[in-house]
Structure 1
Amino acid sequence: MKSMFRQIVDTLIPTVEEREARALAFVVLEDAFGLSRTDIYLGKDTAFSEDDTIRLEKILRRLEQGEPVQYVIGTAQFCDLTFRVTPDTLIPRPETEELVGWVASLLPSDAPCSVLDVGTGTGCIAISLAKQFPRAQVTAWDISEGALAVAQQNAQANGVTVDFRRADVLEVVNESAASMPTHAPLYIVSNPPYICEHERTEMEAHVLDYEPASALFVPDTDPLLFYRALARLGQQLKAAAVLVEINQAYGQETVRMFQSSGYSNVELRRDIYGKDRMIKAVR
């Protein structure tokens, strides 16, 4: 009898390379069916029930159509935690884990502090930090009610408390943000929309067809739209630092924008792929 691992790989090879097909097979069997890699290597993926076989067939049909595996199985791994994902949220990515690591290196482990995650999506940044820093007061904003519902579920599933609020950083600056209760110091972190409309042609179909456009794109005429708002918000809330994920094409331009906004110490950092990806701006 053909193993389910081999069945997944053989089904997907016509549409993806074998290396990617094998990676997808591991994700499906581990996250959707609870099998470890050891189980797979020992051949424990050969005796499946009829219900599991039917479920696998449905998963394979969606994968063959190019739907991201995280949406198909409904979860994604991030910072060693499991997050529910839906079409209302972006899929958490490895480079964003690096941003979380950078924020974590700044937070005090033995004293209260506050973190504001702007554009939280699944809540992966806010929840990961709340998990690592139980004494931190963590607040997370998003404009999407659907994303906030998913994020709240993820916080509960991972055993942390985060104050989720519906807020648009483009509108809230100089309004209600000042009333947000905080413990000093405050750190603002964000992975905002930063892909320009003209970059659509360079993107893969599985991103364009399935992930929420409102969390991805900014106008070609204003690529730093959200970063200016975040810089103003940092000034308004007297944040100790603002840390953001950026579009690699606008690294130096984003640095200059923060500098011109009154941030004296601005650092640009590359991600694991060698691309300009993160900025820390200190007041």
Structure 2
Amino acid sequence: MSEATVAGLLRIQATGIDPVDGELLLAEALGRSRSWLYAHPEAAVPAPARARFEALLARRQAGEPVAYLLGRQGFWSLELEVSPATLIPRPETELLVELALARLPAGQPLRVADLGTGSGAIALALARERPQARIVATDASLEALAVARRNAERLGLRVEFRDGDWLVPLAQERFDLIASNPPYIEQDDPHLAQGDLRFEPPAALASGADGLDAIRVIVRDAGLHLHAGGWLLLEHGWNQGPAVRVLLEAAGFSEVATERDLEGRDRVSLGRWSQKVPGRAPA
């Protein structure tokens, strides 16, 4: 294997790979940062690093997400460990964090739940911004919870993690705000067999024929775990806003609305819990 330079390897990387992906993978292979690559374009790349880079590149060509190849993904102001057991945190989900923070006054010991936490992205972002809040995060995947716990420990953030489906681990507790980025893709959506989605955990992506099965469960049961005036925030697909608003209103939520992401697409629907629904336990 002939000697190669940083610039040379980046020039000859396979077509079809995003140049940024190539830079990230070469930086990973070298144990350096992307900025170091720019500052040292003529630096020699040792044979072991070149071999590692080419192996990572081949896996990326096969469609494996860069986040899984690196074992990490940025979200909010955090760098999170991710694995094939967790959904890859996406920038669109930061809207959910922003909307939650707007309803969580700083400096108060509010109680918050994050359902289906995965890598812990939402819970940990909220913990970073509201350190006095008590945050509980649930997930049915023990592997995902292990990743989330490692993220919390490494970042020094206080979140309590519990194993179980959606609201089940919350027992009889009540919260000021419940947030979730549940699976919401239709189970026969062809996109599940394309791109990065092929490598992400199916249970974190698809939820029934119309993609709303998990959201139905959460909306149905959330009132039993919210204080009066508490908020429920749900991320969903671009075309699901009207359906989610109907579910929220039928369950007894008020101030129901849908917020759009930076691309102008419906992304998060929310509602405020009222006690005026027959059969619901009082807060």
Instruction: Specify the TM-score bucket, using the shorter chain as the normaliser.
Output: 0.7 to 0.9
User: Where does residue 218 of structure 1 map in the other structure?
Assistant: 207
Mean CA deviation greater in 112-121 or 27-36: 27-36
Structure-1 residue corresponding to 2:162: 165
- Out of 166, 190, 194, which is 2:180 matched to? 190
Deviation at 1:78, TM superposition (A): 0.6
For structure 1, which segment, 49-58 or 83-92, has the greater mean C-alpha deviation from structure 2 after superposition? 49-58
Matches within 5 A, 1:61-100: 61-100=58-97
Letter paired with 2:212: L
Letter in 2 for 1:219: G
| Equivalent position to 1:253, from 231, 243, 252 | 243
Residues 110, 132 of structure 2: 8 Å contact kept: yes
Distance 1:30 1:242 in 2: 41
2 CA distance for matches of 1:164 and 1:203?
A: 28
C-alpha contact (below 8 Å) 2:110/2:134 kept by paired residues: yes
- Return the match for 2:215 from 224, 227, 231: 227
Q: Which amino acid aligns with 2:95?
A: E
2:234 maps to 244
CA shift at 1:4, angstroms?
3.0
Measured in 2, the distance between the counterparts of 1:126 and 1:50 equals 41
Do 2:192 and 2:198's aligned partners in 1 also have CA atoms closer than 8 Å?
Answer: no
Q: Check the 8 A contact 1:5/1:25 in 2, yes or no.
A: no
Structure 1 residue 253: Cα displacement = 1.1
**Partner residue of 2:194 out of 205, 211, 225:** 205
Asked whether 1:179 is paired with 2:196, we answer no
> TM (normalized to structure 2)?
0.87
- Counterpart CA distance in 2 for 1:104 and 1:166 is 25
The count of corresponding residues between Structure 1 and Structure 2 is 269
The CA distance in 2 between the partners of 1:31 and 1:107, in whole Å, is 38
Deviations 1:209-246, CA, capped at 9 Å, x for gaps = 210001111111x5322222222332101241011101
Residue aligned with 1:169, SS: coil
Of 100, 110, 114, which aligns to 1:113?
Answer: 110
Matching residue within 6, 9, 20 for 1:7: 9
Give the TM-score, by structure 1 length: 0.87
Residues in 2 aligned to 1:211 and 1:47: alpha-carbon distance in whole angstroms: 35
Q: Which moved more, 1:115-124 or 1:101-110?
A: 101-110
- Over 3 Å counting, the alpha-carbon distance change for 1:109 and 1:30 in structure 2 is farther
Name the CA distance, whole Å, in 1 between partners of 2:8 and 2:247: 51
Contact 1:121 1:142 in 2 (8 A): yes
* Cα distance change, pair 53–202 in 1 and its aligned pair in 2 (3 A): closer
Q: Deviations over 1:42-94 (max 9, x none)?
A: 22572333432232122112112111111111111111211111110111001
1:44/1:276 CA distance change after superposition, 3 Å: same
Judged with a 3 Å threshold, the aligned counterparts in structure 2 of structure 1 residues 223 and 60 are, in CA distance, closer, same or farther, namely: closer
Q: Distance in 2 between matches of 1:118 and 1:3?
A: 46
Tell me how far apart the structure 2 counterparts of residues 86 and 161 of structure 1 sit (CA, whole Å): 21
Where does structure 1 differ by over 4 angstroms across 4 or more consecutive aligned residues?
Answer: 29-34
**RMSD in angstroms over aligned alpha carbons?**
2.2
Distance 1:53 1:2 in 2: 8
1:227–1:269 CA distance, 2 compared to 1 (3 A)? same
CA drift of 1:208 comes to 3.7
2:104 and 2:43 mapped to 1: Cα distance?
Answer: 47
Q: 1:7 to 1:49 in 2, by over 3 A?
A: closer
Distance 1:168 1:256 in 2: 23
Q: Any stretches of 5+ residues in structure 1 without a counterpart? A: none
